Amino acid sequence: MNPPEPKRMLATVTEQFARTARRTGLATPGPGVLEAMARIPRERFVPAASADRAYDDAALSLACGQTISQPFIVALMTSLLQTRPEHRVLEIGTGSGYQAAVLGELVHEVRTVELVPELAAAATAQLRALGYDNVHVQTGDGARGWPEHAPYDGILVACGSESVPPSLLAQLAPHGHLVMPLGPRDAQRLVDITQDDAGVVHTRDVLGVRFVPFVRTIEARHERFVTPRGIGLRAFAATEAQAFAELALALASLVADPAQVQRQRRVEFACSAAKGPQLLARWLDEVVWAMARQDLVFASFEVRLRGDSLRATGLGEQRSAPRGATVEPRRTTVLDPTVARDADGWVAQCTVES
């Protein structure tokens, strides 16, 4: 007779440790790790469609294009953290919640952050149902960590990033381990990072891995600067559409403070043009036109880009009295719009001739 499925999975994990020992430096899983995994019904964390594969040593698909890590990788990352029962650990990328449950078996408290609200909700429900009261799930961008409860004795990141988010390093306790997939998507390495008393960071390469990407969400913001031709405006955002919206907001803020807008009126915009900067120019013209024709002050814009066309909504109000206007919208001319990708997202820029 074949061994029951969970036993077979743990046997495979053990074999994998032996096979990779020279690279990982670990011939066997850390104390208690296999026992913890043996207590967790993994089928409760995988979608019903893959339930028959719950105990395969394989990564499985979750909703929203995400994956639940391969059991060997879960065991390896957990072992690298060198957990102790009194530890408090942080996980980034809750996904199904399975890794968090493994950690929950081993340490005093687990905090885990997931970007996708649906996944965070499903994981929370599952962890509650199984009684993991020491595991706390938060929806949000893991690049921030969970500063309110830092420092952590260990941090496990379950999504691949090209660089170590500085907030995570800042939230790691002295001598704690930060275990994460690092590097470009097709050449990711699992690394074990520690920081000594002097604050010197040590990185140990463990194994080649393949994780889903660590999604960078940068908060939209804009800045003004002076150019020979007028006022320069530059907007940064995670997506091209958000960069368009943010640049329009920067333009609107030349006329009045968007934070002062109280009564909100919707204005619909639509335009099209051949290329990115041309479409941006058309969009900014539309905004200037709306401000001038209707004497509107905008508090926000929502832009949807589809190919060469743009649909947007602006929320604003009629300007009853001048609110410290610096530029009269009627005379606003937008010059040199540019839009480009950078490492973290999108940058849209223009000059306003006044």
Positions in the binding site for ligand SAH (CB under 6 A): 66-69, 92-93, 95-96, 98-99, 113-116, 119, 141-143, 158-159, 212, 214-215
Nearest approach in angstroms of CB 315 to ligand SAH is 28
- Of the pair 116, 352, the CB lying nearest ligand SAH is at 116
Nearest approach in angstroms of CB 97 to ligand SAH is 6
Nearest approach in angstroms of CB 44 to ligand SAH is 12
Paired residues of 235 in beta bridges: 222, 348
- Of the pair 214, 283, the CB lying nearest ligand SAH is at 214
Q: Which residues contact 295 (CB under 8 A, 6 or more apart)?
A: 318, 319, 329
- Of the pair 81, 290, the CB lying nearest ligand SAH is at 81
Handedness of CA 164, 168, 173, 178 (dihedral sign): negative
Sheet holding 201-208, edge to edge: 135-139, 109-114, 88-92, 152-157, 172-182, 189-195, 201-208
- Of the pair 98, 346, the CB lying nearest ligand SAH is at 98
Is 69 noted as a catalytic residue in this protein?
A: yes
| Catalytic entry in 69, 96, 161, 253 | 69
- Of the pair 3, 117, the CB lying nearest ligand SAH is at 117
Is residue 194 exposed (0-12), middle (13-18) or buried (19+ Cβ within 10 Å)?
middle
Nearest approach in angstroms of CB 185 to ligand SAH is 13
Residues with catalytic function = 69
